[in-house]
Structure 1
Amino acid sequence: MAFGSRAAGSGKHRGSSRLSRKTAGYAGIAALATTGVVGTLAAPAFAADSHGGPSPEDTGALNAVVVADGLQDDIEVQAATQQTAAESVAAQAQAEADAKVRAQEAKRIAEAKEKAEREAAEKAAQEEARKRANTFVAPVDGSYVSTQYGAGGGMWSSGSHTGIDFHADEGTSVHAVGAGTVVEAGWGGAYGNNVVIRHNDGSYTQYGHLMSLSVSVGETVTAGQQIGLSGSTGNSSGPHLHFEARTGATYGTDINPLAYLRQHGVGI
């Protein structure tokens, strides 16, 4: 008991246990890992061993510091890899978005071009139709006027010629001088087989003494379309085409057919 009391009162300090030193070492490791201080700075804290060399606990602590540094490096590499992957994904997404925008723009341009071409084609077709509607031709190709308008004589009931005659052998193709609608097609008394057409401008033309007809009432015709073949039917002295221009569909509304054709651009 006296020995125990002397030992207790001797005033000597007992060295820290291995467990305490190990705990302190771990705390130092944690502090170093948190602050980023290089592991070698902690070496003096473990150099106070009574034998002047590192204890097993000290060596383990240093190894732990190295392991902690390695883990930190792995974390940084992983973070950098993830950042690179994220940037790659973002770049790919941006590239896809840009490609989509370019595709949409290309589609818009193509559609606009197609629309412009379609409208141009429609406009050209309308212009062509307008020209055809307003185009006039001679009723017989390569012919000439054999009897003038207003010529007198007993052959005509009115005492004068109400139209002009074009020279034409029997069976010569006879054309509509302009676009319009057939309002009469058949036997016309003194006119023989005849056709009357109402044109788009409201005027009328008549074709008489035909051998045969190629159109019927209500049919729409275009300038230059064949409507029959010339002949000598009705009150006729021989094969020819009797052509009249009128302001109405009936006899007695005749106007000068030669002037009419020339007004519509036909050079005769």
Structure 2
Amino acid sequence: MAFTRPTGKHRRPSRAVRAGANAAGIATLAATGVMAGFAAPALAATDDAPRVEDTGLTQAIVIGDDTADRVGEQAEIQRSSADETAARLQAEAAAKKQAAEVKQKADEAQRKLDAERKEQERAAREQERKRLNAYVAPIDGSYVSTAYKASSGLWSSGSHTGIDFHAESGTSVHAVGAGTIVEAGWGGAYGNNVVIQHSDGTYTQYGHLSSIDVSVGQTVTPGQQIGLSGATGNVTGPHLHFEARTGPAYGSDIDPVEYLRSHGVNV
């Protein structure tokens, strides 16, 4: 079955240009059931209502100009709706793709920031570890004025159990390394003194201090001030008496110069 329009003087030439579109619209509407929407009585009421012509080969329905226009308009609406749907789906897909790319870039930036932060924390920990394991001189810019094991009647043992660093009273005295204070107070011939236990099991002692800035049980770091130099105890003048020991008490002394040099301190 095919759809045609009436021929002869009743056909308006101005609509001939839309014949192909109307035919396509009719085919579309026929396939979707739109033609069923035109009731037979309504079509019959118009002069140009569809008529069935028997061609002998194929039965054809002839429709008027108004009906053809309405069919074409509905077909155009359907095509426009399909185009709008396709455009909307394409826009949604593009938006999803853009959002995924933005999220991927944000995730990569965050991973980079996290990696940089972890590296900074690791470097800071390493720097702190090195600092805590470092050793320094007990007095900045000083020198040894009396050597280890020097002989003199000034010492009860007959020899010097440590070394003396030249220092005026009130000079800052530093812990040579990280450790814990095990003695802080009067030490007899040593005057005001401080003894520190270090992580390697050795001890250092600081004598003749004019004042003490730490207390027993306190932890200290390399270079931290523990007191001020002075002339307390058995002395002939202000200086710092420094000892390195294997134990906390007198008599366990070792060579303090070698001790400091073994820890990287140039004496």
Which range, TM-score by smaller chain?
0.7 to 0.9
Q: CA deviation at 1:75?
A: 2.2
Q: In the TM superposition, what are the counterparts of 1:37-186 in structure 2 within 5 Å?
A: 37-40=3-6, 43=7, 60-61=48-49, 64-186=63-185
How many Å separate the matches in 1 of 2:223 and 2:251? Answer: 26
Give the TM-score normalised by the residue count of structure 2: 0.77
RMSD of aligned alpha carbons: 2.1
Bigger mean CA deviation after superposition, 143-152 or 74-83:
74-83
Deviation at 1:252, TM superposition (A): 1.6
Give SS of 1:107's match.
helix
**DSSP 3-state at the match of 1:60:** coil
> Aligned pairs, how many?
221
Q: Partners of 2:48 and 2:262 in 1: how far apart? A: 119
- Structure 1 gap segments, 5+ residues each: 1-30, 47-56
Q: Give a deviation string over 1:120-179, Cα, whole Å, max 9, x none.
A: 111111111111111111111111000111111222222211110000011111111111
Structure 1 counterpart of 2:32: none
The structure that has the greater radius of gyration is 1
In the TM superposition, 1:114-263 aligns within 5 A as 114-263=113-262
Once residues 139 and 117 of structure 2 are traced to their aligned partners in structure 1, the CA distance between those partners, rounded to angstroms, is: 37
Letter in 2 for 1:110: A
Q: Percent identity between the aligned chains?
A: 53
Distance 1:139 1:61, change over 3 A: same
Cα distance in structure 2, aligned partners of 1:198 and 1:58: 116
Q: Distance in 2 between matches of 1:95 and 1:199?
A: 66
TM-score (norm 1): 0.76
> What letter matches 1:88 in structure 2?
A
Give me the whole-angstrom Cα distance separating, in 2, the residues matched to 1:250 and 1:71.
Answer: 114
Structure 2 gaps of 5+ residues are 11-44, 51-61
Structure (1 or 2) with the greater helix fraction: 1
**In structure 2, how many angstroms separate the alpha carbons of the residues matched to 1:200 and 1:123?**
22
1:31-87 Cα offsets, whole Å, 9 max, x none, are 5xxx3x4414xx38x9xxxxxxxxxx9953479422232223212211221112212
CA distance in 2, matches of 1:116, 1:71: 67
C-alpha distance in 2, partners of 1:83/1:182?
86
Runs of 4+ in 1 over 4 A off after TM superposition: none
